[in-house]
Amino acid sequence: MAPLPKERLAPFVRPFTFVGLDYFGLVLVKRGRSNEKRWVALFTCLTIRAIHLKVVHSLSTESCVMAVRRFVARRGAPAEIFSDNGTNFVGTSRQIRKEIDQRNNILATTFTNENTRWTFNPPGAPHMCGVWERMVRSVKAAISTVMEVKNTPDDETPLTYVPIDPENREAITPNHFLLGSSSGVKQQPALPTNYRDGLRGNYKPTQHILDGMWRRWIKE
């Protein structure tokens, strides 16, 4: 087996610097009295395996473009996006390249990033999609488990929370890098009266904690 790509092992980069993108579905949702088709765009961080899901209303290039726009607005512009050779992904990459070439830097920065690369896996190499295909399977299994109604309304999303004790020895999850804790509800310490000293003082222990998580991630 060949070595893992460098994007899978890149330390000390923010989450979703290297992203794999795939679709799954279709999912039937209720709108009024009718059922409509939806698909889900799955963005996964290739380094920490975090997942970001976006609902798309069709398989068109335009829907894919809007999903990427919303993802970038929420998570920041990735350095590289990987996907298979789906028609909608090829069209999206072509449109991104065209906009960056023809429009000004403001639009390019808003839409993606001048340094963002969109890489397609070569045809006949499905093993190169395994990192996000496995995530697709896990997400589909989780959604099907918690969905009590087959066709849910368009604006409902199933959520679940599983506490782990003790907190200081819990397994490192993507949320530790994204939110600072596994659940994201851990309260941050209040700043002292002197904001300048407080910001300087809080930055150092925060950076120390983050470095410690990265050391554990690389070691374990």
What's the rounded mean pLDDT across residues 76-102? Answer: 80
CB-based contacts of 145: which residues, under 8 Å, 6+ apart?
none
Residue 41: what residue type?
A
pTM exceeds 0.85 for this model: no
pLDDT of residue 209: 76
197 pLDDT tier (thresholds 50, 70, 90) = low
Candidates 54, 86, 55, 87; CA nearest to 71 is: 54
β-strands 51-56, 80-83 pairing: unpaired
User: Which 3-state string (H, E, C) describes 132-193?
Assistant: HHHHHHHHHHHHHHHCCCCCCECCCCCCCCCCCCCHHHCCCCHHHHHCCCCCCCCCCCCCCC
More confident residue, 53 or 129: 53
pLDDT of residue 16: 92
pLDDT of residue 27: 81
Report angle CA 163, 168, 171 to the nearest 5 degrees.
60
pLDDT of residue 121: 82
User: For 6-48, what is each residue's pLDDT tens digit?
Assistant: 888 888 888 899 999 999 888 888 887 888 888 899 999 999 8
C-alpha 17/C-alpha 195 separation (Å) is 31
49 φ/ψ angles, rounded to the nearest 5 degrees: 70, 20
**What are the C-alpha distances in Å from 93 to residues 60, 185, 188, 193?**
13, 36, 39, 49
Over 60: is that where the pLDDT of 111 sits? no
User: For 64-86, what is each residue's pLDDT tens digit?
Assistant: 888 888 898 888 888 888 888 88
Fold designation for 6-148 = Nucleotidyltransferase; domain 5 (3.30.420)
Over 50: is that where the pLDDT of 159 sits? no
C-alpha 135/C-alpha 130 separation (Å) is 8
Q: Percent of the chain beyond pLDDT 90?
A: 7
DSSP 15: T
155 pLDDT tier (thresholds 50, 70, 90) = low
pLDDT of residue 160: 42
β-strands 34-45, 51-56 pairing: antiparallel
51 pLDDT tier (thresholds 50, 70, 90) = very high
pLDDT of residue 166: 52
Candidates 24, 20, 123; CA nearest to 78 is: 20
105 pLDDT tier (thresholds 50, 70, 90) = very low
C-alpha 168/C-alpha 189 separation (Å) is 17
Residue 210: what residue type?
L
Over 70: is that where the pLDDT of 102 sits? no
The domains of the chain are located at 6-148, 174-219
